[in-house]
Chains A and B, each alone.
Chain A
């Protein structure tokens, strides 16, 4: 066998080894991807619905009005995340240049909690006997505060909006501008989440007297249509 023939055979073998190596590597990657897909079938992002028409109650400082406007927005399916996303979209609108109710850009809402109405606590009932394990029975107790709003029907919800301190500290101060912000949030929730009947506000998880020196944050607001012209 001549030297030339030996070289040809050598290079053919080298080419075959490289081809097999590449083929093995591709096959390995394919198998690995298939295994990973099988092992991680859960969602990595919150499930979002398709873009849907959403009503935002937008405030106008010049005439003190609130008007309903529709936007196509994709929102999370879960209700509390949906409420928070609605309010974030609302504040984002106000941060746009030329807004009629200008607010500083940035996240406004830390969290929204939905609590079934009526809100009850539990008290020890001494008239009932303890059970075999020595546990004392309790009964649900509703607030007897005459200032509390009474729910219209059981099953509706109280929305507790926990505002971010950074949003509140940057909010413009004034009776009209603060009132419009609160009514805009309440009206937007009412338009898109009708099961919400009452709304309360916290700031960084704490109660606070006013939004920026004027609008009352201690009271419970009824969820209602706050657009101008509505009763």
Chain B
């Protein structure tokens, strides 16, 4: 005998606790037929575009670290026997150790010198591949590690894109970061504060560095420069450990502050004036 199932109540839409200040209306799209409206103004269409959908999956305890370059791509030459790809990998290992010990799931885009896809045909890792790895993880932070001989301390950069109000289902690849820019800036601010407390020289700003603009997570470029004017000091173990410790401390606190942007419904298509004018 088939038991009659109790009537299930539809879960009421609850606005997610977003902190964004833009006017987002958290309503469920209603399936009921709409009253005939001849034509909508651009302002009305924009308002409808900001109806939020259920938020996408977001893993607060996952952090993606991309040690830049690798394999045949050495990156910049920092000293006679120091190349960028080795420094970024060493710093990535330090960060992973510190974060894994605190219960984080740390994903590295490469774990040794070679930079290739983990699946056949094992093609070399492109910048877009690195963004793809980060995007699939839906992580709370994506850190793109670089190293240079110019300047001292750490250089932090976030995307130059103009912040967008939320994630659209089919956003352009080259501007995926736009809804996350505000979160990325908050993350950079926390890391900058931690580095300042550790008395590590810091330069921060905006830059157009691929593939940050194609990432859908709070992401930034983290460039390590030598501790002093001596380029060899970039490999100073105590210096690297201090940088990694300060960064890890900021990321641990960031876990509770990270918020995904609203997931927006696609904008309504432009009305066809010929159809709108027919009675």
Question: Which residues of A pack against B, CB within 8 Å?
Answer: 61-64, 146-147, 172-177, 179, 182, 209-210, 212-216, 218-219, 221
Checking B73, B148, B175, B208 against A174 with a beta-carbon cut-off of 8 angstroms, the contacting residue is B148
A63, B201: Cα distance in complex, Å: 9
Residue of B nearest to A174 (CB): B148
Query: Considering the complex, which residues of chain B in the window 64-107 have a beta carbon less than 8 Å from any beta carbon of chain A?
Result: 69, 73, 75-77, 84
Given contacts A64-B155, A213-B75, A172 and B149 within 8 Å (CB-CB): yes
- Chain A contact residues: over half helix, strand or loop, or mixed? loop
How many Å from the CB of A42 to the closest CB on chain B?
A: 45
Interchain nearest-CB distance for B57 vs A (Å): 25
Q: Cα distance A147–B177 when bound, in Å?
A: 12
In B113-171, which residues have CB < 8 Å from any A CB?
127, 146-152, 155, 157
> For A147, what are the chain B residues with a Cβ–Cβ distance below 8 Å?
172, 174-175
Q: Decide if A175 touches B172 in the complex (CB within 8 Å).
A: no
For residue B207, CB closer than 8 A to chain A, the reply is: yes
Residues of A within 8 A of B69 (CB): 213
| B210 within 8 Å of A (CB atoms) | yes
A210 to B149, CA, bound (A): 18
Total interface residues on B, CB under 8 Å, equals 30
Contact partners of A146 in chain B: CB under 8 A? 172, 175
* CB of B61 within 8 Å of the partner chain: no
Cβ contact of B210, chosen from A173, A182, A212, A216, cutoff 8 A = A216
Q: Which residues of A contact B204 (CB under 8 A)?
A: 64
CA distance A63 to B203 in the complex (A): 6
Whether a CB of chain A sits under 8 angstroms from the CB of B221 is yes
Please give, as numbers and ranges, the residues of chain A lying within 8 Å of B76 by CB-CB distance.
172-174, 212-213
In the complex, the answer to whether B151 meets A221 with C-beta atoms within 8 Å is no
Say yes or no: B151 contacts A176, CB within 8 Å: yes
What is the CA–CA distance of A219 and B127 in the complex, to the nearest angstrom?
15
- Chain A residues contacting B242 (CB-CB under 8 Å) are none
13 contacts between A and B (CB under 8 A): A64-B204, A64-B205, A172-B148, A175-B157, A175-B207, A176-B150, A176-B203, A177-B148, A177-B151, A213-B75, A215-B207, A216-B210, A218-B210
Considering the complex, give the chain B residue whose CB is closest to the CB of A66.
B205
Q: Are B207 and A173 within 8 A (Cβ)? A: no
CA distance A177 to B75 in the complex (A): 13
- Rounded to whole Å, the gap between the CB of A210 and the closest CB of chain B is 7
Shortest C-beta distance, A140 to chain B (Å), equals 21
**CB < 8 Å neighbour of A214 from B146, B151, B172, B174:** B146
Smallest CB separation, A133 vs chain B (Å): 34
> Given A61-B151, A175-B146, 5 more contacts at CB 8 Å?
A64-B151, A172-B76, A174-B225, A177-B148, A213-B69
A175 to B77, CA, bound (A): 13
Q: Is the CB of A215 within 8 A of B209?
A: yes
* Most B CB within 10 A of own CB, among A146, A172, A174, A209: A174
Cβ-defined contact, A176 with B208, below 8 A: no
Which residue of chain B has its CB nearest to the CB of A182? Answer: B208
B156 → A minimal CB distance (Å)? 10
Chain A contacts for B207, CB-based, 8 A: 175-176, 179, 215
| CB–CB B157/A179 < 8 A | yes
Return A61 CB to nearest CB of chain B, in Å: 5
Asked if A175 contacts B148 (CB within 8 A), the reply is: yes
Q: How far does the Cβ of A182 sit from chain B's closest Cβ, in whole Å?
A: 8
Q: Is the CB of B152 within 8 A of A62?
A: yes
Q: Which residues of A contact B146 (CB under 8 A)?
A: 174-175, 214
CB proximity of B182 to chain A, nearest CB, Å: 15
With CB as the reference atom, state the residue of chain B lying closest to A173. Answer: B76
Count chain B CB atoms within 10 A of each CB in A175, A182, A214, A221 and give the residue with the most.
A175
The residue of chain A having its C-beta at the shortest distance from the C-beta of B229 within the complex is A62
Chain B residues, Cβ within 8 Å of A216: 208-210, 213
Per the bound structure, the CA–CA distance linking A209 and B82 in Å amounts to: 24
- Structural contact, A177 and B208, CB atoms closer than 8 A: no
A213 neighbours in B (Cβ, 8 Å)? 69, 73, 75-76
A213 to B172, CA, bound (A): 24
Name A172's contact: one of B150, B155, B172, B203 (CB within 8 Å). B150
Q: Within B201-238, which residues are at the interface with A (CB < 8 Å)? A: 203-205, 207-210, 213, 221, 223, 225
B224 to chain A, nearest CB (A): 10
